Amino acid sequence: MLQLDALAHSDLERAIERGYCPTIQRLLRDGGFSVRRWFCGLPSATPYCQAGIFHGENAAIPAFRFYDKPARKIITCNAPHGVQYIRDRITSPGALAGGSSYVNLIDGDARTVAFTVATREKMTVYQRLGGRRMALLILLHPIRVARMLVQSVFEYLLEEWERLRGELAGRVTHSEGIFPFIRILSNVIIRELQTMAILLDVYLGVPVIYSTFMQYDELAHHFGPSSKQALSDLRRTDARISEIWRMASLAGGRGYDLVILSDHGMTPSESYRVKFGESLGSTVERLLDGDVLASHAESSEYADIGPEVIEAFALITPAARARTRRALRRGRDWLRSRYGLREIILPEKYRVAAGHDVVVTYSSCLALLYFASDERQLTIDQIVGDRRWRSLYEELLAHPGIGLIATRTGNGVRVESRSGRALLRNGGIEEATGINPMEVYGTERYVVNAVIELVSQPNAGDCVLFGDYDGSRIISFDDQVGAHGSAGGDQVYPFLMTPPALDVADEVLENARDIHRVVMLRYAREVEGPD
C-alpha cells in the first residue's frame, strides 16, 4: 500500500489529465485497476487517518495539535513525543503485523520500520530512522546516493527560484526558514530511501508493506494543492511507483497486490495571519483584555529536534571514540537547555494564556480553544455562563476569519456562524436559525456525523473553530496556501485505487476506519493465518 499524502481525488484526476502520473494512468487503463473517492472523517489529518487505517481506532485524536487538559500538556504531531502519546493510547492490534512501515507517523505493529515516528516498542531515533538496515541500503547503492546528491542541489536551486518568482509576482505568503532543507530531505532523500527499502522488501517477500510518499503534502501546503509545483512533483513519485510495481510483478509467485491511496485531501487556503495582520493567538490575546500570551516554547513541537539529531549521531559513534560521544551529548544537553528551534525560525503553532488559563492550538484550517482552568470538556451553556468566556466566544464568532464554531450541548453539538445557528444530532441538522452554518462545509449525513464525532472526541477543544470558507478557499490558521484539518472542499475527499482482485466500488467508506475494515483486514488475516 502506497499512500500519496494529502492528494485529493479531484487533484489526482487533474494530475492524470495533465500527464503527471503516467504509471497510475496505465494501471487504470490497462491493468484493470479502479479508483474511487471516499470520505476520510474529521479531523482530515494524517494522525487521525493513519490510526484509523492501521488500527481501526482513532477516537482520541481531535487534531494534528491539541491539548490534554488533565495533564496540562500540548500534543503536537510534529514532535515524536506527541505522536508517541497517540500511539501509546491505541490498544487495537495493527494491520501491519509481520510487515513493514516506512515514512508513517505510527507503525501499525510493523516488524520493520524506517522514518516512522512512533512505535509500540521503545526505539531510539536511530532505530526509527531505519537503523543498520537503512545504513546498509545506502552503502549498497552508491549510484542512487550520487543521484540523491545531484538531485538535492537541483531541488535547492529550484526552491530558491520558485520562491523568488513567487515573491516578485506577489503570490508567496510565507516561506519557513528551513523549508528548502525540509524539501530536500522529503523530496529527494526520503523518497529514494523508502523506494529502496520497499524494493528490498518485495524481493524478500515481506507480506504487507505500507509506505507514505509525503512530498505532495509538503509542496501543496506551500504552493497550493493544484499548483504546478505540487502536481509536477507527482511525476517523480509516479516513477517510483513504476519501479515498485515492476519489482512486484517480477516477484514470481508471491502474488502482491498494489493499493494506492491518500489519507485525506487538501483545500486551497489563505493565511489568517497574512490576511488579518495577526495570528489567531494574537487575536485571542487582544480579546482577553491585553494580557500577555507567550508561545509555549518549553514544550514546543520543534524544540527537541536539534538535540535528538545530535543524540542520533552520538548513538552511531563507535564505542572506541567515547570522548567524541561524550562531547556530542554535552552539546545535546546544552542545546536542549537553551533553544527551541521553532521559536527561532518557525511560525507560531499554538499559544497559552497563563493569566486567563486559555489554550489555543492551530492545525491548518482547524483550531481548538480550551478553557484550561476547568479539566472538564465544557458545554456551550457553561461557556456562556462565564462572562469572560462568553465575551471571547462572541468576539471570535464575529471575526471574519472564523467560519464556524462548534460546541457541545446536553443533547448534541451546536454549530454557529456569524449568520446562523444549528443543532447537530443523530446525523441530522435540527433547530436551524438564519443561514445553516453547515451549508458551505457540507450537509451530507456523513459530514454531520463527522462534525459530531470530532467535537465529542476526548481532548477536543471546548470550542472547535473552522476557518472561514467561501466555497473556493478556506482560511488557514497556519501560514499555508493549501490546508486540511476541518471540513470544506476537497480536504475530506481522498482517493482509493485498488487492483482487480479488490473490488470496493460498493463499499461504504465514510471514515479512515472503513479502510481498515475493507482493505487492511483482508491482508492482516493473511499475515496472521500461518501463525
In tens, the pLDDT along 85-108 reads 999 999 999 999 999 999 999 999
* Domain contains 79: no
Q: Which of 32, 176, 159, 6 is nearest to 497 (CA)?
A: 32
* Domain contains 82: no
Q: ∠ CA 107-111-114 to the nearest 5 degrees?
A: 55
Residue 136 lies in domain:
2-57+92-266+489-528
Judgement on whether residues 354 and 328 belong to the same structural domain of the protein: no
Judgement on whether residues 316 and 413 belong to the same structural domain of the protein: no
Neighbouring C-alpha atoms within 13 Å toward the C-beta of 2: 28
| Least confident stretch, 114-128, 310-324, 336-350 | 336-350
Whole-number percent of the chain with pLDDT over 70: 84
Q: What is the pLDDT of residue 234?
A: 95
Query: What mean pLDDT do residues 280-287 have?
Result: 87
Mention every residue, 6+ apart, whose C-beta is less than 8 A from residue 142: none
Task: Please indicate whether residue 340 or residue 371 has the higher confidence score (pLDDT).
Answer: 371
The torsion angle over the Cα atoms of residues 479, 485, 487 and 492, rounded to 10 degrees, is 110
Residues forming a β-bridge with 467: 402
Q: Which cell goes with 153?
A: 542541489
| This prediction's pTM | 0.83
* Domain contains 86: no
Domain count within the chain: 3
Domain of 28: which CATH number?
A: 3.40.720
Judgement on whether residues 197 and 324 belong to the same structural domain of the protein: no
User: How many H-runs (helices) and E-runs (strands) does the chain carry?
Assistant: 21, 20
Q: How confident is residue 192, by pLDDT bands cut at 50, 70 and 90?
A: confident
Whole-number percent of the chain with pLDDT over 90: 58
* Domain contains 62: no
CA torsion sign for 303, 485, 266, 478 is: negative
Q: What is the pLDDT of residue 218?
A: 87
In single-letter form, the type of residue at position 378 comes to L
Query: What mean pLDDT do residues 308-316 have?
Result: 75
Judgement on whether residues 259 and 277 belong to the same structural domain of the protein: no
Query: What mean pLDDT do residues 9-27 have?
Result: 97
Q: How confident is residue 156, by pLDDT bands cut at 50, 70 and 90?
A: confident
Q: Which of 11, 32, 34 is nearest to 505 (CA)?
A: 34
Judgement on whether residues 187 and 38 belong to the same structural domain of the protein: yes
Q: What is the pLDDT of residue 343?
A: 37
Q: What is the pLDDT of residue 524?
A: 81
H or E segment to which residue 210 belongs? strand 209-213
**pLDDT tops 90 at residue 140:** no
Query: What mean pLDDT do residues 296-313 have?
Result: 57
* Domain contains 38: yes
**pLDDT tops 50 at residue 293:** no
**pLDDT tops 50 at residue 225:** yes
Q: What is the pLDDT of residues 122-134, one digit of tens each?
A: 766 556 556 667 7
Judgement on whether residues 257 and 153 belong to the same structural domain of the protein: yes
Q: What is the pLDDT of residues 226-246, one digit of tens each?
A: 998 899 889 999 999 999 999
Q: How far apart are the C-alpha atoms of 76 and 268, rounded to whole Å? A: 23
